Amino acid sequence: MPRSIVARLVCAVLLAMSAGASPAVAKPVVINEVMALNHTFAKDLHGEFDDWIEIYNTGPDPVDLAGMYLTDDLDDPTKWQFPTDNRNQTTIGPKGYTIVWADEDETGIMLHANFRLDGDGDEVHLFDIDGVTLIDSLEFGQQTSDMSYGRYPDGGDAQRTFGVPTPGQPNNEGYVGDVEPPRFSHERGFYDSAFDLTMVCPTDGAEIIYTTSGKAPDDESGRFRAGLSYTEPLRISGTTVLRAMAIKPGWKPSAILTHTYFVNASESIRSLPVISLVGDKGQTFYEPDGVMAIVGGTYDGGVWTSTGAGSYNNVLKRGLERPVSWEWMDPEGGKIFQVDCGLRVHGSGWMRPRYVRQNGRWSGNGKFSLRLYFRKEYGPRRLTVPPFDESDAEQFQSIVLRGGHNDRTNPFIKDELLRRLHKDMGQRASMGTFANLFINGEYKGYFNPTEHIKEEACQEWFDSDEPWDVMTMNGIRDGNQESWNAMIDTARSNSLAVNANYQELLKRLDVVSFIDYLIIRLWPNDWDWPQNNWAAAAERSATGRWKFFAWDAEGTFVSSQLHADRFGELNSQGNANAQLYRALKVNRDFRQLFADRLYKHFYNGGALSAGNIGRRFNDLRDVLRGVIPNMNTYIVNG
């Protein structure tokens, strides 16, 4: 939370007095209502769900806001100024309102401030045209999606949360207060025997309601409310997903808390950390409207045609993402935490129609890979409890729960092994780990949670505050491809045998990164590369250069082709990897550097020496021993 407003108000008054300005507030305008988590409530004229601030004129005469300032930081009182050239937008009539969209985009239609509001708690201040005289302030704590916060009545001293926001209209009574969340007698996790769970709520007169189906307790989409009223201790004797909240008439309901309990779990389950995903069966996960509602179909130019129940087009219209509770529990006493986030299916346009679910169960290609997104609409903007011990990142915007696809059973470590070896080569790589996955208490197999190669990941890996462009085989993932096109055009349009041209390309390409990437992909002979399964990224700055990353290497280490490589494909195919390599290999310096990097990695205990490969392989085999007791070892013994 920010510093106390009271202390800074004193500073503002003293500053105003020292500047010869009167601390008295002459303008009858107030910050009346704010929304810091606008998820689905109201769009601006650009069709975007942005934060907004409502200013209210308490007086009997029009007030022109032109030249005044809004800020979310008292140390920067002139952060955003109301325009002085559009009186129609800045003039508020008697007892009238105006809306300012807080979206960091001042180019938008209507009033758009150059800052956003923080749903975890923030403050808004209105300063007069001198940039010193403070007219009004509003401070708020953690917010709930699609609810607003402000004054009651309009311009009044009471501050409340509004379950029904009223931008541009009189504020309603809102909630009298906030109900505190229930407290549990037992924390989520593993237990050796059954137990009785009790719940209490500190708010007098509040009722606790709960579900064990994954549904939100206050869900009223059916004939009856989903949540049962808690009246006595609950007997927990097996795997249980418990969602609970507290409610009270006229009060803001508490947040929904989710706890998963495992009683007498098998040694196989306890051999790995456990991921528990909890949500509405038909709205979050499966038919009719969950992320896995597609059961087959084809993909053509961005249009899905479903061949089964639960049309993917139906999911597409409603958005590809659903809210979900994600719990991480380490049975060995490690990290245990819960985060509300967004859930998507992970996979290319080729793979998605090939996922198969029959009678609600997974089999074969039905082992879905999934993606988690951390956004303010659900909870924290970033995951700040890293589950990956070897990661170079401290926070994460998205995580992939890899099912394995072409390596989904045994040894199941090909992709993770290759990415760790790539990191050993001195390059940044998406790190991962292993976990058993449960959905609403049902076991779905062992998975490989890993970092997602996105702009936010690159910013973390390379300690960058600049935007990044991320390119994959499917096109641009983040940013734009102007820099990528310029790099490829430089390579294709000039003979790189000419050293000046080669040096010009190196301004756009991290050539050491590219060579190490080629080595780690060529050597294990991935049958699905170089045409597929690659990622590259560059900082969008004057010094940004394209770097390459290993990804989806499940086609590597085929037992019958351990001594083959992919030079033939790299020298013949027309994809970006191949074109760039063929343009570069005519340069003597490039060939020498390639040879130097080969020697570095394959000899004298390098990253790809037998000793390091064996160490990495055995580490992963030991981690998975509980779920794959007889892992295939041909990778190191073949």
Q: Give Cα separations from 212 to 260, 261, 278 (angstroms).
A: 10, 11, 10
What 3-state class would DSSP assign to 513? helix
Which residues lie across from 139 on neighbouring strands?
A: 123
Within 8 A by CB and 6+ apart from 92, the residues are 29, 55, 56, 57, 62, 63, 64, 65, 98
Distances (CA, A) of 8 to 81, 132, 227: 20, 12, 44
Q: What is the pLDDT at residue 26? A: 64
Q: Please tell me the predicted confidence (pLDDT) of residue 363.
A: 60
Could you list the mean pLDDT of each consecutive 10-residue stretch along the chain, which spans 638 residues?
A: 38 35 64 92 84 95 95 94 91 95 82 91 95 95 92 94 94 94 97 98 97 95 90 97 97 96 97 97 89 54 36 45 95 91 85 69 74 90 88 93 89 95 96 97 95 95 96 92 95 95 97 97 91 94 96 87 84 92 96 98 96 96 96 88
554-578: b or e for each residue (b if 16 or more CB lie within 10 Å)?
bbbbeeeeeeeebeebbeebeebbb
Q: Mapping DSSP to helix (H, G, I), strand (E, B) and coil, where does residue 610 land? A: helix
Instruction: Give the count of beta carbons closer than 10 Å to the beta carbon of residue 364.
Output: 10
Would you say 531 and 552 are in contact if contact means Cβ atoms under 8 Å apart? no
Q: Are 439 and 258 in contact (CB under 8 A)?
A: no
The whole-angstrom separation of Cα 275 and Cα 343 is: 13
Q: Quote the CA–CA distance of 165 and 155 in Å, as a whole number.
A: 15
Provide the pLDDT for residue 4.
Answer: 42
Task: Locate 149 and state its tokens.
Answer: 């916060």
Beta-carbon contacts of 495 under 8 Å, excluding residues fewer than 6 positions away, are: 501, 586
Give the rounded percent of residues in the chain with a pLDDT score beyond 70: 90
Kindly report the backbone phi and psi dihedral angles of residue 436, in degrees, each rounded to the nearest multiple of 5, phi listed first.
-85, 135
Q: What is the pLDDT of residues 43-70, one digit of tens each?
A: 888 888 889 999 999 999 999 999 999 9
Query: Residue 296: what pLDDT?
Result: 45
